[in-house]
Structure 1
Amino acid sequence: MKGQEWYQATEVAEEYDEKRFSRGGRLIDRREKRAVLEALGPVEDKRVLEIACGTGRFTVMLAERGAEITGLDISGPMLQEGREKAQQAGVADHLEFMRGDAARLPFPDDYFDTVFAMRFFHLADTPAKFLSEMARVSKNQVFFDTFNRFSTRSIYNWLLPMGSRLYGRDEVEDLVSGAGLSLVDAEHDFVLPYGLYRQIPDWIADDLREFDTTVGSTGLGDKLASVSYWDARV
């Protein structure tokens, strides 16, 4: 997986949320959480697995809503940040964080109601293998996001230290089909790239986001979107 050593560094884990989801980045955090909540629906008493849970942003959020959730990640320092976040939220007894490899999930077939991954497939070197494993352990839903090839992200992607794997819709549909899944819904957002939001203060980011969503609601929105959220069923 791209950036595996970087991602497991303690200093990266400690600064991860602050660097990505403060200032204008809070709008990204808000949109991603809304995407997960809308896709998963009511989660109380549902068994949920989050792949590449990182610092536990979504894991803790869903635990607070009554899910029986497991967060899996390859980074020990990231998981430690998640455990501390769960303690602060008072849900440490209602979730489990596990260190593991998403290519070899340590769970039996059809074990979870929902399996999801956010900010994972842009780093995946073998996306078909990861998605097949997610489908194997889910008895119902698989949800994930991608960065899109034909978008503003493609303009600067080569400048990023790790780069990103960018996807076209046809490629995602082939991956979904190859994993034995059926695509039931897709949403597309952020005509402007994530990186721009992180570099600007809140008051500018709010106006920029309003412009972004206005353009996104037009006929060009889906074609220009840099991020897509994919909802599939087993």
Structure 2
Amino acid sequence: MKGTEWYQADDIAEAYDDKRFSEGGQFIDRREKTAVLNALGPVEDKRLLEVACGTGRFSVMLAQEGADIIGLDISEAMLSQGREKAQATGVADTLEFMVGDAARLPFPDDHFDAVFAMRFFHLADRPVTFLRELKRVSKGQVFFDTFNLESTRLIYNWLLPMGSRLYSRRDVESLLADAGLELVDEQHDFVLPYGFYRELPKNVAEPFRKLDRALGETDVGDAVASVSYWNTTAADGDND
């Protein structure tokens, strides 16, 4: 895993949300949460697993929607932030945070109704191994996102402290085939990369986001989008 020391530092965890999801970053937060909710559908009483849950943005949201959820991450500092959020929002009873390795998930086969991982595969040095583990513990659905090779992210990718693995569509198709997953649905967004929005005040970022959404509704926008959301399920017969 790239940059694990940076990711697990206490000061990084404490500032993580404010740095990425305040001001213009609010548009990123809103879009990502919408993508997760749209993919997972009604989650009340569902048993869910979020791998690489970080500070619990998605886990807390889904617990508030009625899910019984576990958030797993390699960083205890990140999980501490998540536990504080769970306590503050009153969902600690239905949300558990635990330290764990995505390559060896501590759960039996078919344990969860759905499993998802956001902002994880750009850091994964063994993506097929991780994807197989997500599939193993899910009854069917696996949802994840990727940062894309044919996108504006190439412009600044090398500057990022943790690095970033970028995927072509062919890469994703190969991953799914090797993991025994079938694509159910896909969405593509953010012609302008995440880093652009995070650097802008919200009122300045808003017109750029409107333009970005308009471009994203075209074939060209999909082709050069910097982020893709992949909703998948076990291939026929794989989880029988």
State whether TM-score is above 0.5: yes
Name the amino acid aligned to 2:88.
Q
- Number of the residue aligned with 2:74: 74
Alpha-carbon displacement from aligned partner over 1:46-105 (angstroms, at most 9, x marks no partner): 110000000000000000111110000000010000000000000111111110000000
Q: Is 1:157 the counterpart of 2:152 in the alignment?
A: no
Taking only aligned residues, the RMSD between alpha carbons, in angstroms, comes to: 0.6
The CA deviation at 1:227 is 0.1
SS in 2 for 1:167: coil
SS in 2 for 1:215: helix
SS in 2 for 1:48: strand
Q: C-alpha distance in 1, partners of 2:14/2:219? A: 40
Unpaired segments ≥5 residues, structure 2: 235-240
Name the amino acid aligned to 1:90.
G
SS in 2 for 1:228: strand
Q: C-alpha distance in 1, partners of 2:156/2:95? A: 38
The CA deviation at 1:3 is 1.1
Alpha-carbon displacement from aligned partner over 1:79-135 (angstroms, at most 9, x marks no partner): 000000000000111111110000000000000010000000000010000000000
Q: How many residues align?
A: 234
SS in 2 for 1:166: coil
Name the amino acid aligned to 2:158.
W
- Number of the residue aligned with 1:115: 115
The CA deviation at 1:162 is 2.3
Q: C-alpha distance in 2, partners of 1:4/1:177? A: 28
Runs of 4+ in 1 over 4 A off after TM superposition: none
The CA deviation at 1:216 is 1.0
Q: C-alpha distance in 2, partners of 1:198/1:79? A: 23
Q: C-alpha distance in 1, partners of 2:185/2:154? A: 24
The CA deviation at 1:159 is 2.1
- Number of the residue aligned with 1:46: 46
Q: C-alpha distance in 2, partners of 1:202/1:14? A: 21
- Number of the residue aligned with 1:136: 136
Q: C-alpha distance in 2, partners of 1:160/1:4? A: 13
Q: Is 1:92 the counterpart of 2:99 in the alignment?
A: no
- Number of the residue aligned with 1:10: 10
Q: What is the TM-score with the length of structure 2 in the denominator?
A: 0.96
Q: C-alpha distance in 1, partners of 2:170/2:219? A: 19
Name the amino acid aligned to 1:63.
A
Q: What is the TM-score with the length of structure 1 in the denominator?
A: 0.99
Sequence identity percentage: 70
Bigger drift between 157-166 and 114-123 goes to 157-166
- Number of the residue aligned with 2:215: 215
Q: C-alpha distance in 1, partners of 2:2/2:163? A: 8
The CA deviation at 1:161 is 2.3
Q: C-alpha distance in 1, partners of 2:49/2:96? A: 10
SS in 2 for 1:93: coil
Matches within 5 A, 1:145-184: 145-184=145-184
SS in 1 for 2:206: helix
Name the amino acid aligned to 2:167.
Y
Q: C-alpha distance in 2, partners of 1:175/1:113? A: 21
Q: C-alpha distance in 2, partners of 1:61/1:41? A: 13
SS in 1 for 2:98: strand
Q: C-alpha distance in 2, partners of 1:107/1:177? A: 23
Name the amino acid aligned to 1:227.
V
Unpaired segments ≥5 residues, structure 1: none
- Number of the residue aligned with 1:191: 191
